[in-house]
Amino acid sequence: MRQDIEQILVEVRSALESGDAALLASHLKHVHPADLADIYSVLDNDGRSQLVFLLPPPATAALIAELDEAERSEAVDDIDDAELSTVVTELEPDDAADVLSELTDEQREYVLDQLPDEQSDQLEELLEFDEESAGGIMTPELLALPQEATVKEAVEAVRLAAKEADVHYVYTVDDQHRLVGVVELRMLVVNGEDTPLDRISVPDPIVVKADDDQEIVVNQMRKYDLTTLPVIDAAGRLLGQITHDDVFDVAEDEADEDIYYMAGTAPEELEEPSSVRAAIIRLRWLLACMIGTAMSGLIVGGFNRSFPKEVYLAMVLFVPP
């Protein structure tokens, strides 16, 4: 049975006050990373720093994956570069790329140098994409097999791949690694072992290109009710996939961004809380409102002598602030 989050928070604060990493680990042993992110959010700055300091790298990675951009940046700032390299190895490739994109060039280079060559090369490729594009939110971890492969070969490949990552579909590709089709896992169960994948795959699946905006990704997955969306390059080569959990985060970010703009500000205001930064961001909206109000005032003022005073005062009440 899951513990009450309030009780866990009390226990975590007690462990943080004592600085006991073992006690903290025992309290958080069965806590879901999403709940851990909630706990992090309500702690003060000192408590957050100490929590990140005492957590082991796997738990820190799980926490970072659940935090929003502003809190993630704050958490990463509390981790030294040597430990950050260990944390990055525990993250999913898309989450790791997000973390690295927020580092300075020197920090990023140091962390990448500490990683295995294969992982370092993979992350460098992801960092080349705009973080708000399909390529920026995709994960390169997927299962792709030649279209001539059989069901038996696919089942074995799924069995091996599932040890490291979630497998939703088997993608079929040609000899140029161009995406040809997609096979649902249930089709591997209901067909014979010797059945070629090209006979049971869905041809011409819905895709997005790596440079497509993330909003296009959200719209495509919503429109076609997809759980996973493959990402291709301009030549049709399969680069990665975007899963439904990534899209949930993107949809939330897009909705928040729209709300910020409606309120006359921008999401950047929360990245680094500062009255000066907030004033600069809001100044463009305030200037537009001031210009509009001044123009409205001039127009209404021109009718000052054309209407009785009572009518003129009523008109002034409708001038937007």
- Read off the pLDDT of residues 135-194 as tens digits, 9 standing for 90 and up: 999 999 999 999 999 999 999 999 999 887 789 899 999 999 999 999 999 999 999 999
Write down the residue that tokens 């680094």 correspond to: 272
Residues whose CB is less than 8 angstroms from the CB of residue 166 and which lie 6 or more positions away in sequence, other chains included: 243
Just give the CATH number of 5-132: 1.25.60.10
Helix (H) or strand (E) holding 68: none
Provide the pLDDT for residue 271: 57
Lowest mean pLDDT among 85-99, 176-190, 211-225, 243-257: 243-257
Classify the C-alpha dihedral 177-178-180-181 as positive or negative. Answer: positive
- Cα 215 to chain centroid distance, Å, stands at 12
Residue 38 and residue 58: Cα distance in Å, rounded? Answer: 18
- Read off the pLDDT of residues 62-80 as tens digits, 9 standing for 90 and up: 999 999 878 888 899 889 8
Residue 233 DSSP SS3: coil
> Partners of 181 in the beta sheet?
172, 203
Provide the pLDDT for residue 188: 95
Residue 247 and residue 226: Cα distance in Å, rounded? Answer: 10
With contact defined as beta carbons under 8 Å apart, do 194 and 150 qualify? Answer: yes
What is the side-by-side strand order in the sheet with 208-209? 208-209, 228-232, 238-243
HSE at residue 297, side-chain half, CA atoms within 13 A, is 7
Give the other-Cβ count within 10 Å of 209's Cβ.
15
Residue 113 and residue 28: Cα distance in Å, rounded? Answer: 31
Helix residue spans in 225-305 (DSSP H): 244-262, 275-301
Lowest mean pLDDT among 124-128, 237-241, 288-292: 288-292
Q: Looking at beta carbons, which pairs linking 35-44 to residues 24 or more positions away fall under 8 Å?
A: 35/5, 35/8, 36/62, 36/63, 36/66, 37/63, 37/66, 37/67, 37/71, 38/5, 39/5, 39/8, 39/9, 39/12, 40/67, 40/71, 40/75, 41/71, 42/9, 43/12, 43/13, 43/16
Homologous superfamily in CATH for domain 144-252: CBS-domain (3.10.580.10)
Provide the pLDDT for residue 1: 39
Indicate the residue type of 72.
R
Residue 271 and residue 279: Cα distance in Å, rounded? Answer: 14
Residues of the chain with CATH 1.25.60.10: 5-132
**In percent, how much of the chain has pLDDT > 90?**
50
- Read off the pLDDT of residues 304-315 as tens digits, 9 standing for 90 and up: 666 677 776 676
* Residue 319 or residue 27, greater confidence: 27
- Read off the pLDDT of residues 81-117 as tens digits, 9 standing for 90 and up: 888 999 999 998 988 998 998 888 999 999 999 999 9
Query: Mean pLDDT, to the nearest integer, of 30-58?
Result: 91
Q: How would residue 255 be classed by pLDDT, with cut points 50, 70 and 90?
A: low
- Cα 74 to chain centroid distance, Å, stands at 16
Tell me which DSSP letter residue 209 carries: E
* Residue 111 or residue 278, greater confidence: 111
pTM: 0.74
Indicate the residue type of 162.
A
Residues of the chain with CATH 3.10.580.10: 144-252
Q: Please, what is the average pLDDT of the chain?
A: 86
Helix residue spans in the chain (DSSP H): 5-18, 21-27, 33-42, 45-54, 57-66, 69-77, 81-90, 93-101, 105-114, 117-127, 134-137, 151-161, 185-190, 197-200, 214-224, 244-262, 275-301, 309-316
Write down the residue that tokens 């300075």 correspond to: 104
